[in-house]
Amino acid sequence: MGLMNLNTSENGMTHSLKLRSYQKEDAELICKWLRTEEELYRWSADRFNRYPLTGNDINENYAPQLATGRFYPLTAVDERGHVAGHFIIRYPYDDDRSVRFGFVIVDPVLRGKGYGKEMLLLGIAYVREHLPATRIDLGVFENNESARRCYEAVGFTAYSTRECVMPIGTWRCTDMEIDLER
């Protein structure tokens, strides 16, 4: 995958992010961003059920999904090449009409500065340009209000809620979607 670029300005600060394919070395950095067990579950729901997480855990989870050809882990890097964030795009169903964003995370020191919004806009552009999907959805826990606001800022709207039972408790999850105009 080639790099996708976007320059944005938020709160008077200008950033320039690019998306690139996830590299196995990114996993260790992502793990460092998961500073608490609660952050791990907000990021991954019940997909790992282990804290602390290791880079090998992420890579082992991704490997069989990559083999399907319907799983796209992406990493956002800034103009200096520093990793700023990460997320995945996957096809949750057999048809190609809908993709799901997941494992959305931004470096904690960059949160609240527009990097998440910029990364998501790049992800939406990636889907529009490279995949046949006409809809993107994602889930966000109700105890992650800053993430929900970020998703709303790029056009996602809520369409359902559900309970998620995890080892650290039962959380309400809001599923959100954005329809892509083709």
Domain regions of the chain by residue span: 4-136
| Distance from C-alpha of 132 to C-alpha of 116, rounded to nearest angstrom | 24
Predicted local distance difference test score (pLDDT) of residue 15: 79
Spans of the chain, pLDDT less than 70: 1-14, 182
| Distance from C-alpha of 150 to C-alpha of 83, rounded to nearest angstrom | 19
Assessment of whether the complete model's pTM goes beyond 0.85: yes
Q: Is the domain defined by 4-136 classed in CATH 3.40.630.30?
A: yes
Predicted local distance difference test score (pLDDT) of residue 6: 56
